[in-house]
Chain A
């Protein structure tokens, strides 16, 4: 996938991601079941499809934008180590783009 640099932060922390994924799975399956029952009673398959699409809209609104509730458990990084003291023991896990930029003291490992 192409990684686009948005002007605002779009990350969620790991617990938030898990919560978001579980949430949209439950929502879509729920609307799918409702739609199946309604469609069977009305004998119209289009009702089932509309119900699922409505569920997708609701889930998209709830899980795609990075709401603050998904950032309640931020990853705890270790304190940055002064580069002069220890050059090879790299305790500063320079990770990918999900960390703010000011913790990068050591040289970056990956060029993203």
Chain B
């Protein structure tokens, strides 16, 4: 502490220590938070196509096509330790080939400060709904929205929202080309 630089050095090191302690305090203050919420999901006009999957094994697989209607209010989830949310919509179903299939159909990143009341009406899925085989016809599929909490200081938690819906695919393929629009891909 006998010169400028040594005083500045001591001050800086002490500041960093204080910031580390405060960050630990933030972590502890939100440790037991569960981040639950309710959303409303709707599956609109589901159909099944039978097409060659060029990104996989070149065989003909089932492709499910549907539109999504989503409504959610995420404002209660943003406490002072949440930096952003990663939302993803998962379709889960059972086939004779696999006990559990999970396909992500749509995702979104919601940052702190952005609009957190989201409402989508009959949007196309963001990703293709390929089945590993040909078992989508008449299959009962459950759609559920999950979010991944990205904290300032803390664990990365995956939480499933309340309010999942189920629907059943029709039992016939669509063969004509006048069917529903293709998925939108990356936005």
A residues contacting B by CB (< 8 A) are 1-4, 6, 10-12, 17, 20-21, 24-25, 28-29, 32, 35-36, 39-40, 42-45, 48-49, 52, 56, 59-60, 63-64, 98
B21 closest partner in A (C-beta): A32
Complex CA–CA separation, A52 to B12 (angstroms): 12
Asked if B26 contacts A48 (CB within 8 A), the reply is yes
Residues of A within 8 A of B19 (CB): 32, 49, 52
B residues contacting A by CB (< 8 A) are 1-11, 14-15, 18-19, 21-22, 25-26, 29, 78-81, 152
Contact among B7, B25, B81, B152 for A63, CB-based, below 8 A: B7
B28 shortest CB reach to chain A, Å: 11
Asked if A21 contacts B1 (CB within 8 A), the reply is yes
A74 shortest CB reach to chain B, Å: 13
Asked if B26 contacts A45 (CB within 8 A), the reply is yes
A88 shortest CB reach to chain B, Å: 29
* Known contacts A10-B4, A12-B1, A29-B18, A40 near B11 by CB under 8 Å: no
Residues of B within 8 A of A49 (CB): 19
Complex CA–CA separation, A45 to B82 (angstroms): 9
The prevalent SS among residues of A at the interface is: helix
B25 closest partner in A (C-beta): A36
A-B contact list, 29 entries, CB within 8 Å: A2-B5, A3-B5, A4-B4, A4-B5, A6-B4, A11-B2, A11-B3, A12-B1, A12-B2, A17-B2, A20-B1, A21-B1, A21-B10, A24-B11, A24-B14, A25-B14, A28-B15, A35-B22, A36-B22, A40-B80, A45-B80, A48-B22, A48-B26, A52-B18, A52-B19, A56-B11, A60-B8, A60-B11, A64-B8
A20 shortest CB reach to chain B, Å: 6
Contact among B9, B21, B25, B80 for A44, CB-based, below 8 A: B80
Residues of B within 8 A of A42 (CB): 80
A18 shortest CB reach to chain B, Å: 8
Residues of B within 8 A of A98 (CB): 2
